[in-house]
Structure 1
Amino acid sequence: MVTAMTHLAYYLPAAGAPAELIQRATPTPGPGELLIETKAVALNPLDWYQRGWGFHIKHPAVIGSDVAGIVIATGTDVPAGAPKVGARVLAMAPSFYSFGKPDYGALQEKVVVSSADIMELPDSMSFVDAATFPMAILTAWSGWYSIGLRRDTSYTAADKKCMLVWGGASSIGGMAVQTAKTMGYTVFASASPKNFDYVKSLGAAKVFDYHDTDVVEQIVRAAKEDGLSISTGFDSAGDMKSCHAILKEFGTESEPALLSEARPFTPEQEPITPGVMMKFIVPPENDIERAEFVAFIFAWLKQHIADGSVVPSPPARVVEGGLAGVDAALDILQKGVSCEKLVVEI
């Protein structure tokens, strides 16, 4: 069912065909859903995978996940505690889970989202900053979920627990640094030297240059000098070899160090390292468990935004042109960015 209204959308009509800007019918949200008037969308590598390769979508499609905007309609059976019409919100648009079904992609002026995947914004937070959160925070917590790290994990300095985050200046890596810090880990991260101070501002105790040929030895030595055990790691940059080389110094076959890996890999690519267990990041697949998981994450995020222990990361860079600028923004993202999150305002 749709309303009589239409809105502008960044639309992928067919595999291999260029994107189009079209007017499409504005949908009515269904049971448990809300309709958001989009104000800002942050871009992720997933978006250019989908644009260029048709990854995990069925055409025609509208892509995009990280959205911030205003609730303008609600469907039936929306929980009483969900944001009301007029609320400023951030949300995880379900494009990935719907294989790009057009109503559910963020890159359009109106998008349908689940009432489970949404959080009301504090008045002080801009739509641009808010849009940087959803994919990063959900991926970071999904990484901890994948390796069995409990949501209520809470260490103190006396526990000497250290977390390795490879690629701490990236969107997902920066959120891994912040979430690990709130759980009480001492965080060691890798980054380019120009981003050292920034990664430390997110909570990393020490940051190392991943370009250094002896970076593995530097990290292992620093941890041992500080009496720390690097028993857990998060690789957001795809350097499995270095992560394994570090973690094997602290894990054993009976109690392996755990690595959460953000980049897909085949069995042939996976290093086999005694004392290290690596898992690709996946969220809960069961719909009920996933809804509970996301509800926890957004409740956690709201609390930590309020107390200032979690901030948008990395800084947003607005790409001009709105929906008409999406192709140019995705081209920039595909070439690679450093310590910035590309955002489109709509």
Structure 2
Amino acid sequence: MLLASLPRSMKAVVIDGDRPLVKSNVPIPILDENCILIRTVAVAGNTSEFKHLDLKLGPQGSILGCDVVGEIVQLGSNIIEPKDDEYQIGDYVYAFVHGASHSRPYNGAFAEYVSVDSATTYKCPKGWTLAKSDYLPQGPVTTFEGAVSIPFSMTTAGAVLYHEMRLQLEWEPKEPQNNFPLLIWGGATGVGQSLIQIAKRLHGYTKIIVVCSKKHRDNMIKYGADDVFDYHDEDVVQQIKQKYPNIQHLIDAVSNDETIQQVYKCSADDVPVTLMQLVFLNLDNIKPEDRKDNVKIIGTVVYLSTGLGVQMGESYHFPANPIYRRDIINFVKFIEPHIAAGEIQHMPVKIFRNGLDDIPEITDLIRKGKTSGEKFVTVLQ
């Protein structure tokens, strides 16, 4: 069913060499039977975009972008309207998609129309509107711009804590699920801000230890951090290790050659340790003299939530993982009502007003590290 007749082509941002190109006359994405076609209201930038460009992870001509919010204009053939009042034409939803993918290069968030997976899409409650200002402080989601800052980071955080770290989806249990603290390095990143909130609400650990710039300390505490360290301090690793010698779960939400070394050094010495990184780092990235037999470095590929195998560039291929997809579907269903109720907050948001034409600038700003603790969002409507 359609909201109205759709155009045959649209404006989108595609990979052109090593740059994002704003292009017209791009075909409307193919709508799979279990997907929803939305007309885009706003999109958000992530580190994913410049990494797909710089590391040549996505195919030429593919549409970039992971975070989108928009109005439903068409339902896939397997989606019956209405179905438990879940999805109807004219509703607004926000979602994570695998932009610049090899399997679906015709679909990405940075486009006027986007196909989103009905099983992992978040629904906007009635009453959410466009923001009236160009900046939103952290807070409960009440706007489309706040909503679009959430899906990629929140879904990744869910993959880390639920699928990988095996926390149970129980809201605010009395007792901690693990009898040791959690370290999150990069608490002010998009994923970091989601991780703190989920870990706190699931009472996953005895304490949540966060590393970030001291200017973000107050926000981290509001999210649920119990202790905050400033990564600018030269002895920050020594500070953490002295106060918390038994950290068995660590998450590097920055995940570069420098941070992985620092996070590794913060781990416990004599018990099994799991260190989560978010790119393709492994033991080879740790200096030989610092390696310990008790530490296991793992990663997560949130794009597996699509149910498809994932190809990234020429070097990385991950086979389809039905269990991964099942867990992400369960997590989205669990966390969505808590977002709608204001119990999970969006990060600070800076709003741009030129739609897809802002994407090249936003991508470059993110590449240069100009998004300190905030999400860059641009509005198309």
Indicate the TM-score class for this superposition, using the shorter chain for normalisation.
Answer: 0.7 to 0.9
Name the SS of the counterpart of 1:194 in structure 2.
helix
Percent sequence identity is 23
Alignment-mate amino acid for residue 198 of structure 1: N
Corresponding position of 1:338: 372
Corresponding position of 2:90: 86
Shift of 1:97: 4.7
Inter-CA distance 16–195: structure 2 relative to 1 (3 Å threshold): closer
Corresponding position of 2:360: 327
C-alpha separation between the residues in 2 aligned to 1:121 and 1:193? 33
Of 248, 265, 269, which residue of structure 1 is paired with 2:268?
Answer: 248
C-alpha separation between the residues in 2 aligned to 1:112 and 1:92? 10
C-alpha separation between the residues in 1 aligned to 2:341 and 2:19? 46
Shift of 1:320: 3.5
Name the SS of the counterpart of 1:265 in structure 2.
coil
Of 164, 180, 198, which residue of structure 1 is paired with 2:183?
Answer: 164
Corresponding position of 2:309: none
C-alpha separation between the residues in 2 aligned to 1:138 and 1:99? 20
Inter-CA distance 141–97: structure 2 relative to 1 (3 Å threshold): farther
Equivalences for residues 251-330 of structure 1 within 5 A:
251-252=270-271, 256-265=272-281, 267-270=283-286, 272-283=291-302, 284=304, 286=320, 288-313=322-347, 315-330=348-363
Root-mean-square deviation over aligned CA pairs: 2.5
Shift of 1:297: 2.0
- CA deviation map 1:18-68 (0-9, x unaligned): 61321223345231111011111111111112234431x222211101111
Shift of 1:258: 1.3
Q: TM-score, normalised by structure 1?
A: 0.87
Conserved in 2, the CA contact under 8 Å of 1:37 and 1:70?
yes
Conserved in 2, the CA contact under 8 Å of 1:147 and 1:259?
no
Shift of 1:221: 3.2
Inter-CA distance 240–44: structure 2 relative to 1 (3 Å threshold): same
Q: Is 25-34 or 104-113 further displaced after alignment?
A: 25-34
Name the SS of the counterpart of 1:116 in structure 2.
helix
Alignment-mate amino acid for residue 13 of structure 2: Y
Corresponding position of 1:50: 52
Higher relative contact order (CA 8 A, sep 6+): 2
> What is the aligned length?
333
Corresponding position of 2:62: 61
Q: Is 233-242 or 91-100 further displaced after alignment?
A: 91-100
**Structure 1: which 5+ residue stretches go unaligned?**
none
Conserved in 2, the CA contact under 8 Å of 1:71 and 1:87?
yes
C-alpha separation between the residues in 2 aligned to 1:237 and 1:4? 40
Inter-CA distance 342–193: structure 2 relative to 1 (3 Å threshold): same
Alignment-mate amino acid for residue 218 of structure 2: D
Of 126, 146, 150, which residue of structure 2 is paired with 1:133?
Answer: 150
Corresponding position of 2:73: 72
Q: TM-score, normalised by structure 2?
A: 0.80
C-alpha separation between the residues in 2 aligned to 1:105 and 1:129? 19
Corresponding position of 1:19: 21
Conserved in 2, the CA contact under 8 Å of 1:59 and 1:100?
no
Alignment-mate amino acid for residue 249 of structure 2: T
State yes or no: 1:222 paired with 2:222: no
